[in-house]
């Protein structure tokens, strides 16, 4: 076949080679070798291709098995993370929510339902559901803050009460951020809700503790204030009993009556201090401050501390007098403690404007003492609960309570202090917002959001 192929194709164009000749045999052998090599080479190439394909298939199977293992491990890890996250959210009483503001789609976590007092999935996730769960007294401020933050795409942060179906009242804190489109319009709201009822209960307990401590301090001051006129009354009654003339007895009786009236005034001021008003009433800030200073009149005299009253403007305001008495009492006590070697306490009342939004009018009360002053570390920590520099008598709750009261009245409290020899002292500046039209008839409505800055 090879011979016919070679000669039929005229590959060799020579004279006819006789059959059986050595040349013909040589050509046949060479052709056979070439064909055998080609066949062998083709087989090797095929085997190599099959081997390469087999290796590729093996590698592909190995890669697929590895990918499946990795996917399984990743799924397991994600499941474990989700389980841990769910445990953390449930343990911390934290709920998550995701709102599509364009289409009105709401996604709530199970804990979010529980914080609102519902079983997961028992009610439809939506704005009306959460609005209905908010305590009626907090509903309007919460809605106002939501609309305001949504229009400006700024972070939402609010504390309010929720009312469970069984009537239980719980405190929650909601925090969220907005996503906006190219036009700046909020299209998504992602946030968390935390049950802070235990924290609020702890704050109430701390407030009660501070009130008890303040009552103890006041009791000691009042006992000293009352003791002096009572001793004078005793002496005057003795002189009346030993008097030789009616005129002398009458004069001593008038003096005794004056001392008794002083005891009565001290008692009345004490009752005013402890009678916390549930609603605001009209009075002057100077009256509140003078009531407090009257309680510490004896300590001021013994400590050789003079009071400089500068009431530049003192209109009648509608305020929570009981809370303000506690604020001023805490600030005055701290000033007296700082001036153990005597000094001057300056109290000033004037019209002013807030330093945060300058358009907000109000009254500013400044208390400046010439005491020992505070260092920078103390100034940073004075509003922390239980932080005190009075190791023997302090509870560390006075200024913390003061800041909480001012926060509730949407005020601002700032402090400056110096320890420079010859120029030491501390200044507390308190701003209380009021309406400009009547300056104090009514505190302006502000959404319930913590804005108190402590310096």
Provide DSSP, 273-309.
HH---SS-EEEEHHHHHHHHHHHTHHHHHHTTEEEEE
pLDDT on residue 9? 45
pLDDT on residue 274? 53
Residues 6+ apart with CB under 8 A from 154: 178
pLDDT on residue 445? 36
Which strands form 361-369's sheet, in the order they lie side by side? Answer: 305-311, 343-353, 361-369, 425-433, 412-418
Q: What is the number of alpha carbons within 13 Å of residue 415 lying toward its C-beta? A: 24
Distance CA 92, CA 100 (A): 26
DSSP string over 312-362:
S---EEEE-HHHHHHHHHHHHHHHHHH-TT-EEEEEEEEEEE-SSSTT-EE
Distance CA 236, CA 255 (A): 7
Query: What is the distance between the terminal CA atoms of the chain, rounded to a whole angstrom?
Result: 108
* Other Cβ atoms within 10 Å of 272 Cβ, number: 18
Tens-level pLDDT at each residue, the chain (455 residues): 545 554 444 554 445 556 667 777 777 788 788 888 888 888 888 888 888 888 888 888 888 888 888 888 887 777 777 666 666 666 667 888 899 988 888 988 888 898 898 988 888 888 888 888 999 999 998 888 999 999 888 899 989 999 999 989 999 999 999 998 888 889 999 988 889 998 888 888 877 776 666 666 666 666 756 776 787 788 778 888 888 888 888 888 888 887 788 777 667 656 655 555 456 778 889 988 988 887 777 778 888 999 999 998 888 887 777 778 878 888 998 898 889 888 999 999 998 888 777 778 889 999 999 999 998 888 888 888 777 777 666 666 778 778 878 887 888 899 999 998 888 999 999 998 886 433 333 333 333 333 333 32
Residues 6+ apart with CB under 8 A from 318: 280, 281, 282, 440, 441, 442, 443
């Amino acid at each position: 076949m090879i011979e016919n192929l070679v000669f039929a194709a005229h590959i060799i164009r020579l004279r006819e080679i006789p059959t059986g000749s050595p040349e013909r045999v040589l050509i046949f052998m060479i052709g056979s070798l070439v064909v055998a090599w080609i066949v062998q080479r083709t087989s090797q190439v095929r085997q190599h291709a099959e081997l390469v394909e087999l290796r590729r298939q093996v590698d592909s199977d190995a890669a697929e098995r590895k990918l499946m293992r990795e996917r399984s491990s990743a799924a397991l890890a994600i499941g474990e993370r989700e389980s841990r996250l769910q445990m953390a959210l449930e343990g911390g009483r934290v709920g998550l929510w995701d709102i599509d503001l364009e289409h009105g789609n709401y996604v709530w976590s199970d804990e979010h339902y529980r914080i609102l007092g519902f079983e997961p999935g028992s009610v439809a996730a939506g704005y009306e559901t959460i609005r209905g769960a908010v305590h009626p007294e907090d509903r309007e401020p919460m809605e106002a803050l939501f609309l305001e933050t949504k229009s400006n795409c700024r972070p939402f942060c609010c504390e309010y009460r929720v009312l469970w179906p069984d009537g239980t009242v719980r405190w929650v804190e909601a925090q969220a951020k907005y996503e906006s489109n190219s036009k700046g319009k909020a299209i998504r709201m992602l946030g968390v809700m935390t049950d802070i009822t235990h924290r609020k209960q702890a704050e109430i307990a701390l407030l009660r503790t501070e009130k008890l401590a303040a009552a103890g301090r006041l009791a000691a001051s009042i006992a000293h204030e009352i003791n002096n006129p009572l001793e004078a009354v005793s002496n005057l009654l003795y002189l009346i009993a030993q008097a030789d003339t009616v005129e002398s007895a009458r004069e001593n009786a008038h003096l005794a009556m004056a001392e008794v009236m002083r005891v009565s005034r001290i008692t009345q001021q004490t009752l005013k201090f402890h009678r916390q008003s549930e609603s605001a009433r009209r009075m002057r800030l100077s009256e509140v401050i003078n009531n407090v200073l009257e309680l510490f009149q004896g300590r001021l005299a013994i400590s050789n501390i003079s009071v400089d009253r500068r009431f530049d403007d003192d209109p009648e305001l509608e305020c929570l007098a009981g809370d303000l008495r506690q604020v001023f009492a805490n600030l005055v006590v701290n000033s007296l403690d700082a001036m153990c070697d005597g000094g001057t306490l300056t109290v000033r009342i004037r019209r002013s404007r807030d330093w945060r939004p300058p358009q907000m009018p109000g009254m500013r009360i400044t208390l400046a003492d010439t005491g020992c002053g505070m260092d920078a570390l103390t100034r940073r920590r004075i509003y922390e609960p239980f932080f005190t520099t009075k190791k023997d008598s302090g509870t560390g709750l006075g200024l913390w309570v003061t800041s909480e009261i001012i926060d509730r009245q949407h005020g601002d409290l700032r402090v400056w202090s110096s320890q420079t020899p010859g120029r030491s002292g501390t200044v507390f500046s308190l701003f209380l917002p009021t309406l400009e039209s009547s300056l104090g008839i009514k505190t302006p409505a502000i959404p319930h959001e913590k804005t108190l800055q402590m310096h």
